[in-house]
């Protein structure tokens, strides 16, 4: 068992959605967490960065100096 704290806005959204779906708030939260974990665990490093790996003539001359920042930005966009 777990206890979580939610702000009022999120709690209201959960209340409304659970009523419209005809399920309990607990069931809605369980399904949501399960779906989130499944979606995050499916992204392996190669898949997440394959559009960055092996690119030639990117037009950017800062790839070696800003590589960490660039990779973080690309991965953040993919996780949205």
Question: How high is the pLDDT of residue 56?
Answer: 66
**Domain residue limits, the chain:** 7-42, 43-80
Question: How high is the pLDDT of residue 55?
Answer: 65
Kindly state the helix (H) or strand (E) to which residue 56 belongs, with its residue range: none
Q: How confident is the model at residue 5 (pLDDT cuts 50, 70, 90)?
A: very high
Question: How high is the pLDDT of residue 62?
Answer: 84
Question: How high is the pLDDT of residue 30?
Answer: 95
CA-wise closest residue to 40 among 75, 71, 4 = 75
Question: How high is the pLDDT of residue 17?
Answer: 97
Structure tokens at 30: 């369980």
- The phi-psi region of residue 24 (left if phi > 0; otherwise alpha if psi is between -120 and 50; otherwise beta) is beta
Lowest mean per-residue pLDDT among 5-9, 37-41, 69-73: 37-41
- Determine how many CB atoms are found less than 10 A away from the CB of residue 23: 13
């Amino acid at each position: 068992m777990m206890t979580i704290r939610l702000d009022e806005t999120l709690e209201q959204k959960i209340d409304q959605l659970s009523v419209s779906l005809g399920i309990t708030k607990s069931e809605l939260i369980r399904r949501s967490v399960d779906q989130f974990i499944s979606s995050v665990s499916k992204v392996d490093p190669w898949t997440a960065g394959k559009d960055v790996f092996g690119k030639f003539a990117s037009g950017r001359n800062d790839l070696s100096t800003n590589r960490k920042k660039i990779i973080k930005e690309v991965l953040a966009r993919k996780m949205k």
